Amino acid sequence: MKKNESACVSPLFLQEFGGLILLDLQYHIVGISAQALHLTAYNTTTFIGISMQTFFHEAFPSIDGKLTKLVKSVVLRDLPLQVISLRYGGRNYYFKCHRQGEMIYLEWEPQLKKYVSASKLNELGFLLERSYPNNWNMICKAVNSFLKYDRVFTIRIFETGQARVIAEDKPGMPAFSMHKEFAETFLPPDLLSYYNRAAYRYIPNLRKREQELYIHDTDFDMHTTQLAAMPFLHEQHLLSHGIVSVIFFPIIINGEFWGMIIGHNTQEKPLDLQNRKLCAFFVQNASSKYESSLGQRILAENTHLKQVEDILKERLYQNKTVNCAMIQSLDILREMTTADGVAIYNEGELYLHGHTPNRQTLHALVNYLGRHTRKAIFKDHNFRLNHRQHFKSKLPFAGILSYRLDEEGSYYILWFREEKQIQLTQVYPRPNKKQNRDVGASTTLHFSEENIHDTAVPWDDKDLNFVYTLREAINTSIIQKVKEKERITEELETANNELEMLTFTLSHDLKNPLSVLHSGLYYLTDKAHTLQAEKLHQWHKNLLNSIDNISDIVNNIVFLSQNKIKTFTKDPIPMNYYIRRIVQESIILHQAQHCQIKYGKLYPIWGEKSALYQIFMNIISNALKYSSSKANPQIFITSALKEDHIHYYITDNGIGIPDRQINAVFDMFNRADNALNHQGSGIGLTLVKRIMDRLGATIKINSDPSGTRVDLFFPLVTSFPVNMMQHL
């Protein structure tokens, strides 16, 4: 832009403790602060396009050559920020020059000291020592020994956007006490860019009127200069607490804005540029050391995580089922996430460790998670705050982390954290007619200290890394089990070809008489006019019953043959919820809603889930079927833990089994004389006996006219996990 060319110049705001001019790459002035403008006869519009040499000659006649050389060296030699000390008007000044994109920045401020004494350097020199501990309280104290501020403290900014004071020196201001927390509204990302774009930010006097910056380019990046005014939000907050002078040193860890060391003073506190830069250097060094120690800590945590992963994989391999391995590892699950409690939900069964909700609340919680999130891993440290209205009873936890192991939502691992009450500094906008610097004409800000409830310590990367590791270990275990079962199945299919052929041959042979019976039925129907009505009805009934019985036999034989090619792997199976579900299915099947069911303790069993289903479904179904004709049918199911086995027994008050036929109850197709009026094929107990044999278990049946008792003895492979034995 040419000299004195008319332009639209917009005023912005800078701090008043220094001056600033902005140049384009042709060394023409495009922006100027009020302090710099007052050194010349130009006004707010005529300065545009003035050459650097012309301006320097008028504003700094005794040092214009040195300033020109400084600026050109930065541009032509592509140097970073350059600082020189020059004397002008009877006073020493620091002149700083750097290039940012297509713009050159030259700013200056008074020099308060000629040099930093060796004794002052020694006060902070120990921070450079390798052996110096990474303790933010000690770093605050060391930096403040140099600044001499009323308070220096460290604030940590978390992933959630909230921030907390974690260290301080010279306490005494209640508003900035240790562990004070700020809401995410206090440090939004757009304000954080003001702090992390420079090695430090310094405001010697918040109460002094700011100077204007006149610039044609309204897209000018204010954060590039140290004279940039502080965000209005934080300025008002500090002034409301009597803070006048403030300095901020950003802490960058692994390339991320981790926090700040902040100095507060209730009186104006001029700090020489050398002092500020030295403190910034020492804070950066402390940040680097902390980053190194953090890396060592992460390495140690990863080593520990790998050890835990190996333990989990070993347990998954030994126990063959995910559920048993997880139950044995409840203490590890809780320790690795520093949770207050952990729960496992597996198809209605619950296993708890630490402080957890009650069983009713846990069932409601699992149903809620299943309906409201499809995420395999879900976390919310404000769960009670955000979701309590969906639960009838008060939630005894504030934060939750969940891992759903299957698509159906029948298996969850849940971690819980209790409430942590905090006092949080909140920021709210309020209407205001007075113009404010950067919040608009219609808005001002209100600060409040609120006690926040129903929130917990947030789940961090360390917690999530463990859950991801757990998921990987479980998935690997499942794949290994699938491969092992495929191998065993292939071997068994070869060994059982002969049995399979026999089964299908038997099925074919039984279907032949079925066709004959159908033909006979149609024949009798055609000859109905030659038979007496009563005789004809009896023929129909007998033939139809035979058809139904033969069909049952065919279906049961096919079912039995399919199960003969399977291998049973014994795992600890919880039975409390499982047996109750079988009972409900049987009641519906036999329409036995009037039957009274009583339960004792239902211990887990070492077995295979589908095999145990067949066993208990047959026995419980028989008990209901043969008791349903009684006026007051009753079933009692209980179990006992012995030294080497689990003893289950099921008793009913049904029709019983005649003494002469009790020894034949396990023979295929055998049915007691008094059971012929009830539907059945006589293969159910045969199937139960064969499955029990393959499990290495035994079955005994005792019966009389008052009812039947079935005793089942399942070997105890090893002790059950402690949590599996609770809440029987």
- In SS3 terms, 103-172 reads as EEEEEEEECCCCCCCHHHHHHHHHHHCCCCCCCHHHHHHHHHHHHCCCEEEEEEECCCCCEEEEEEECCC
- Region of 677 on the Ramachandran plot (φ > 0 left; ψ -120 to 50 alpha; else beta): alpha
Question: Rounded to an integer, what distance in angstroms lies between the CA atom of residue 582 and that of residue 605?
Answer: 15
Single-letter code of the amino acid located at 37: L
Question: Rounded to an integer, what distance in angstroms lies between the CA atom of residue 296 and that of residue 273?
Answer: 35
Residue 314 neighbours by CB under 8 Å, 6+ apart: none
Q: Which two tokens stand for residue 366?
A: 């699992």
Question: Rounded to an integer, what distance in angstroms lies between the CA atom of residue 711 and that of residue 372?
Answer: 45
Q: What pLDDT was estimated at residue 433? A: 47
Q: What pLDDT was estimated at residue 158? A: 87
Q: What pLDDT was estimated at residue 465? A: 93
Question: Rounded to an integer, what distance in angstroms lies between the CA atom of residue 234 and that of residue 541?
Answer: 93
CA diameter of the chain: 141
Low-confidence ranges of the chain (pLDDT < 50): 1-8, 433-436, 438-443, 498-502, 504-513, 515-516, 549, 552-553, 556, 565, 676
> Do residues 353 and 343 lie in contact, with contact meaning Cβ atoms separated by under 8 Å?
yes
Q: What pLDDT was estimated at residue 208? A: 86
Q: Which two tokens stand for residue 62?
A: 């005794």
| pLDDT 10s digits, 151-208 | 999 999 988 888 889 999 886 565 566 778 888 888 887 788 889 888 999 999 999 8
Q: What pLDDT was estimated at residue 493? A: 63
In DSSP notation, 385-418 reads: HHHGGG-SSPPS-SEEEEEE-STTS-EEEEEEE-
Q: Are strands 634-641 and 596-599 parallel, antiparallel or unpaired?
A: parallel
Question: Rounded to an integer, what distance in angstroms lies between the CA atom of residue 558 and that of residue 567?
Answer: 17
Question: Rounded to an integer, what distance in angstroms lies between the CA atom of residue 413 and that of residue 326?
Answer: 9
Question: Rounded to an integer, what distance in angstroms lies between the CA atom of residue 726 and that of residue 601?
Answer: 11
Question: Rounded to an integer, what distance in angstroms lies between the CA atom of residue 250 and that of residue 270?
Answer: 20
DSSP 51: B
Q: What pLDDT was estimated at residue 7? A: 43
Question: Rounded to an integer, what distance in angstroms lies between the CA atom of residue 577 and that of residue 121?
Answer: 72
Question: Rounded to an integer, what distance in angstroms lies between the CA atom of residue 288 and that of residue 293?
Answer: 9
Residue 406 neighbours by CB under 8 Å, 6+ apart: none
Single-letter code of the amino acid located at 71: V
Single-letter code of the amino acid located at 307: Q
From the centroid of its chain, how far is CA 598?
41
Q: Up-side HSE of residue 574: CA atoms within 13 Å toward CB?
A: 23
Question: Rounded to an integer, what distance in angstroms lies between the CA atom of residue 92 and that of residue 63?
Answer: 12
> Do residues 259 and 158 lie in contact, with contact meaning Cβ atoms separated by under 8 Å?
no
Q: What pLDDT was estimated at residue 687? A: 77
Q: What pLDDT was estimated at residue 441? A: 39
Q: Which two tokens stand for residue 682?
A: 């006589």
Residue 243 neighbours by CB under 8 Å, 6+ apart: 206, 264, 265, 266
Question: Rounded to an integer, what distance in angstroms lies between the CA atom of residue 475 and that of residue 183?
Answer: 39
Single-letter code of the amino acid located at 121: L
Question: Rounded to an integer, what distance in angstroms lies between the CA atom of residue 95 and that of residue 213?
Answer: 18
Q: What pLDDT was estimated at residue 556? A: 47
Question: Rounded to an integer, what distance in angstroms lies between the CA atom of residue 314 and that of residue 643?
Answer: 27
Question: Rounded to an integer, what distance in angstroms lies between the CA atom of residue 722 and that of residue 546?
Answer: 51
Question: Rounded to an integer, what distance in angstroms lies between the CA atom of residue 688 and that of residue 556?
Answer: 12
